[in-house]
Amino acid sequence: MDSDLVSISNIGPATAKALIAAGIADAATLRATGAHEAYRALLHAGERPHFIGYYVLQMALQGRPWNDCKGDEKAALRVRFDALVAEVRGGPLSGIEAALDEIGLGRR
């Protein structure tokens, strides 16, 4: 892999590979795109939605440890994540789908 994505804290080889496959080839592109839109690109490229991955990407671009996301900030990001997933998938999750999504076993 010839990308500097892994130079960003919290982004390892697997995430870098997924970002490259989604059209985000390097750190400059990721920074210009932003975490939310980069995650949209990942979803469109077929990545399964996972809230932890979403907020880890947010923290990475802020130069913060992945586990620094807590409380109200984490709750607000969850709302944005759920809206993004619903938008990409064509509708909100409800009932058992929402519960399964919450534990990372939602729609594929």
**CATH number for the domain that contains residue 82:** 1.10.150.20
Domain residues for the domain of 60 are 5-102
Distance, in Å, from the CA atom of 80 to the CA atom of 9, rounded to the nearest integer, reads 22
Q: Angle CA(73)–CA(32)–CA(72) in degrees, nearest 5?
A: 0
Query: Model pTM?
Result: 0.80
- Within a domain: 108: no
Report the share of the chain in percent with pLDDT over 90: 76
pLDDT, tens digit, for every residue of 12-25? 999 999 999 999 99
Domain count along the chain: 1
**What is the model's pLDDT at position 56?**
95
Q: Is residue 107 part of a domain?
A: no
